[in-house]
Every structure is written in C-alpha cells, then in structure tokens.
Structure 1
C-alpha cells in the first residue's frame, strides 16, 4: 500500500505520485489503473481528489479515461506532445537543458524572421514590452513581462506556428520560474538585454537580431543555471 498523503497538498501530491509512477513505468503504457475506489484508498484520499488529479494527468497527455472502461495509461512517448514538458521538468530538471537547446535554436530563427517581417505596430509592441520589463516591481513580474516580449516577438513573424512553439517552450519552464529568477531580479538589466533585440527588429536587421538573441540566450541561460543553488526538478 502506498503511503497516505498529507491533507494540505492532496491534489498536487497525488498528481505528482501518479505522474512519477506512470513515467517510471510502474503503471505501464496501455495498462488500466486500479479502480478509482481502490486507488483512492491506497493513497488515503477521496475519489473527488482522485478525479481532480486525473484531470491534470489527462491534460498532460499521460492518461485517458473512458466511461465504463476506466483510466488507461497512454503511450505518451509515442503520442505525447509538448504539453508534457511542464510535468517532465517538474520531475527532472535535466529536461531544462533540452528546453534551453531548443529555445536557443528556435529563438534566433524567430528573431531573424521578425526582423524581416515586423510591422510598425509590432515594433511598437516590442518596445512597449521592453518598457514593461523595466517597470517590473519584482522578479516574477519582470520574468512574466519578459515571457510576453517573446510572445510578441513570435507574433511579429506573422507565422502563428512560431507563436504556439514559443508558448510551448515558455510552458516548459514557467511552472518552475521561481527557481530560475536570477536573470530577472534586476529589472533594468533584464530590459537592457531585450532592448538590442527590439531595436534590431525595428531596423529590419536580421543579423543584428540573431546576434542580440544569441547574447540574450547565453546570458539568461547562464544565470538560470546558477540560480542561488536552487535547482528545478523533483518536487519535495
């Protein structure tokens, strides 16, 4: 029998334990999970709590529930999408290195294309987001404003797929952003890193946009990887 879960974090803790059990293979792909009543009893929770955890697992693409059949583990390595990233990052911080790699590659492509296609309205929106970063009252506000800058940059490409890809990458690490806050503790410095990107796009200079984004990615990634000894990964 699994250890009972403390009542103060029931849904979060239950989701985490079930998620780890599925990814570790303790509930194999294709297998039905135990009946709800049995599973709830094994964790010391009620069925309502279990259903809430199931909803989160379904949203992450780990399970599917069919009326009259039960809840089955999906073949998430074959059918899973980037919606799984937040769950994987929370479980194992090593995923961040792979997110950073894609972030660098996709981010520079987006910057080049934005420099080629941005309208005057896009440029104004980018400059407005730089100002929003500079005006952030704390690291969390600055980080969220920084994320919005990258959405605005992706929107400036005129390609909606890049915007969705940007949302996916942001979704991979924003859930653990408190452990990645060092680049955003100084609002002015954070804005200064973005300013050259916005101005390169404004000038229509693709090479300058790429260089500015490479510098941004290198600086922020380096700071994120050395954040105050805090390492995103398996939750306590």
Structure 2
C-alpha cells in the first residue's frame, strides 16, 4: 500500500520559509524581521499563522522575541539550542562542509560512555541483540539499520537518559549518514568486526574493554569520514 505524505500545516510551511530565509542570509544574523503585517504578506500566510511559526522558531533558538520590540534573528551558532542542531541535521543543503565531522567528534565523546553504562547494567540483553548480527546481510541498508539498533539499545540502557534524547534528535540524519558510510565494503567489515568484539565484551561483562573498543572504533569512523 502506498503511504501518503503528511500534509504540512500552514504554520509548518511558514516556519520552513522563515528558516530558508534565515539560512540563506535573506534575514541575516542579528537583523530584525519586518513587521508582522509585512512579513505575513511576504511569506503568504495569515498573521495568526505567522505568530505560531515565530513562536516555534523562538523556542528552538532561531529568533529573539521580546514584547514591544522587533523580532531579532539570533546568531544561532552562538545563541542557539538543541532545536537549532536538530533542525540543521534535517537540512543537508544548509549544512556547513564540516557539519557531519563535528557531529562525529561529539559521538567519539559520547558513545564510549553510554556503551560502558549500558554494558554495566544490561550486558545479557546487548549480547542477545549483537548475536542477531553475526550473519547480517551485506548491504548498506542492513548495516545502517543494525548500527542504529545497536546504538539505540545502548543509549536506552545507559544510566544517563540524555544520551537517548540526543541520539533520537538525529535519527533521520543518522540513517542518511550510515547508508553513505556503509556503501564501502571495508566500512561494513569494520563494523562487523566491532559487533563481534562488542559481543565478546558483553558475554564477559567487560564494560571497560567495551568502552575502549567503542572509542577506538568511533575514532576510526571519524577518520574515514574525513
């Protein structure tokens, strides 16, 4: 059965048009947006719809709205929040050339920690999942799905719930990046070896070794991407 694409709400369309204008420089960082009436006319929506879109963008760190003052475009790399990062992750055309590398550098810092925490509490469950991938299909999609499943479980079982929130923020981009990364047979074999070694760690509850292993593999992935 064909899946229907969800119909965008007017506020979502307005939000996207404003984002495009901000990221293209039409509404430059630290500039002020036109008045509500003019701006609504420019992007083709009603004023109530515009207000909803502006509030969404302010919530995510793109805009600074203060009562009685013009709405300012924030310097989102300096003043933005996780909302900015999550939005940029869904807009490949607007990403800087080193955006993905910067994300992978963060993963190098986080993945070893959540792997150790998860292994400490749920080694048997992790081993059961990894055992499924001993005969994983040798395709980019299969490895992309497996890699997400592994890291999603690790963040779910880690003691710190922030890990899973961060990972969930990049689910769409994660699969796009992984499909690209796993096109190379060498990278698939590298991950297959990682799952095998991580399985051995899980069976022995060797959480410190799993932490070191994950750090090494994440650094290798970063080097491959660069």
Contact 1:88 1:95 in 2 (8 A): no
1:33-60 per-position Cα deviation (integer Å, ceiling 9, x unaligned): 2134423554xx4116967865763463
Structure 1 residues 69, 95: closer, same or farther in 2, change over 3 A? Answer: same
Structure 2 residue aligned with 1:233: none
Aligned 8 A contact 2:152 2:167 in 1: yes
Q: Which TM-score applies when normalising by structure 2?
A: 0.65
CA distance in 2, matches of 1:56, 1:176: 24
How far is 1:203 from its partner? 1.8
Provide the C-alpha distance between the structure 1 equivalents of 2:135 and 2:70, rounded to a whole number of angstroms. Answer: 50
Aligned length: 204
Deviations 1:59-116, CA, capped at 9 Å, x for gaps: 632126689977543564565322322444543132333322221121112222223x
Structure 1 position 47 matched with structure 2 position 50 = no
104-113 or 11-20, which moves further after superposition? 11-20
Q: Check the 8 A contact 2:22/2:73 in 1, yes or no.
A: no
SS in 2 for 1:154: helix
Q: How does 1:23-62 map to 2 (within 5 A)?
A: 26-28=28-30, 32-42=32-42, 45-47=43-45, 54=54, 57-58=57-58, 60-62=60-62
Distance 1:197 1:46, change over 3 A: same
Q: What's 2:196 paired with?
A: 195
8 Å CA contact 2:62–2:76 kept in 1: the answer is yes
Q: 2:25: which partner in 1?
A: 21
Gaps of 5+ in 1: 1-9, 226-236
Aligned equivalent of 1:228: none
Listed one character per residue, the Cα deviations across residues 100-137 of structure 1 (whole Å, up to 9, x for unaligned) are 2221121112222223x2235xx325542663696569
Partner in structure 2 of residue 73 of structure 1: 73
Runs of 5+ consecutive residues of structure 2 not aligned to the other structure: 1-12
Q: Distance in 2 between matches of 1:141 and 1:86?
A: 25
